[in-house]
Amino acid sequence: MAAASLAPLVEPVAALSPGERERTARHHVLVPLGEVGQRRLAAAHVAIVGAGGLGSPTVMALAAAGVGTLTVIDDDVVELSNLQRQLMHRVADVGEPKALSAARAASDLAPEVRVHAVRERLTPDNAAHLLAGADLVLDGSDTFDTREAVAAGCEQLGVPLVWGTVQGFDAQVTVFWSAPPAGIPAVRLSDLYPTGSAGDVPTCAEVGVLGSLCLQVGALMATQAIQLIAGIGEPLLGRVLVIDGLRASQRTVPLKGVAREDAPPRDPSPRAAVAGGSSAPGPVESRIGAVPERIRPAALAERLEQPDAPLVVDVREIDELRTGMIPGSLHVPLGEVRADPDGVARRVRDEAGGRGVAVVCRGGVRSAQAAAALAGRGLDAVTLEGGLLAWRGPLAMPAAAR
């Protein structure tokens, strides 16, 4: 079934105010959006979950576009490290609730927008309540548990969900809708991630995120929202847009039902990051290898006492080493593994001298990725389950971190 425009989500308001009509004038000449489409935007109510890396550009884009009502749901406060990608917030906002900062930014851009700032964490218990009344939901949350709760709430309410994710240099955008118009197959989060398939979910603090890519993905999510509200174009319902920031490439992967007939075969594992943030397995996992074998901290401590003790490879960043390293560890940041896995594998093989390899990081997510890369290149590599957070053995302060 070929993709096609869907019916508009909302009826248009009767008229725009003179100020709003002038502010959004460049939309009025756009075909097929036009003045009627702009009045539909003014009538729409969009809920945005997360006011972080993806929530920032979507709030600004939708406010500027003239969406009449925004509900911004976030229980976090602005931190200095957020400002690399969350351009809605300012240095002066550090320590302030993100939802209130979002309301300020939206009002600065479009004084007529009505912003409901909800300083509350969305959970499975309150999702439907917090999202009630919205015509459409955008998910920019930063944990997969929250994303599942958002998706379940949208399914309960029958409203479309625009879903975007970023991890590192990779991203995905799609649309889920459990109750689309007649004749259009339903598409749910479980069609992309079957229940329980997400596995361990890294945070952006662990694997990093390109700030400019958050802006790109947030803008794409806002565009999807505009298309759905106004009933124009071909929304990504049934298709996943996959973005590779390092290779400047984009492609759509058929997901279900309304994918184009001329699209390439479906990726058997169209995984993506979770972002708001960002997190989740996916582009990284598919790029550097399969899920590696894990070793428990007690078992590693025991093996390190043996004559053939494995080489410990620590893939944290250098500033993290101040908390200490397992004595004798080789320091190779994950970024080096991703940039040159073959070269790192040769170096580790030389250092190991035939011994096994145990890869460690703070929480066990980055080490799993690095161990997969090394195992895929013939090394006997395992990852420390739970990372150094679970380690109870000795730690030493490396000279590089003193």
Catalytic residue among 65, 70, 159, 204: 204
The answer to whether 37 and 228 are in contact (CB under 8 A) is no
Question: Which residues on adjacent β-strands are paired with residue 294?
Answer: 383
Site of tokens 């945005």: 48
Confirm whether 204 is a catalytic residue. yes
SS (H, E, C) 180-231: CCCCCCCECHHHHCCCCCCCCCCCHHHHCECHHHHHHHHHHHHHHHHHHHHC
Phi-psi region of 122 (alpha: psi -120 to 50; beta: other; left: phi over 0): beta
Q: Is 214 part of the annotated catalytic residue set? A: no
Q: How many Cα atoms within 13 Å fall on the side-chain side of residue 177?
A: 26
Instruction: Please name the residues in contact with 153: beta carbons below 8 A apart, sequence gap of 6 or more.
Output: 122, 127, 128, 130, 131, 137
The one catalytic residue in 361, 365, 375, 384 is 361
For residue 183, give the amino acid letter.
G
Radius of gyration of the chain, Cα coordinates, nearest whole angstrom: 23
Token digits of residue 167: 């991890």
Residue 195 burial (10 A CB sphere; 0-12, 13-18, 19+): exposed
The beta-strand segments (E) located in 259-377 are 293-295, 311-314, 330-331, 357-360
Is the peptide bond prior to 68 cis by the omega test (within 30 degrees of 0)? no
Q: Using CA atoms, how far apart are residues 229 and 217, in angstroms rounded to an integer? A: 18
* d(C-alpha 123, C-alpha 10), whole Å: 27
Residues marked active site are found at: 204, 361
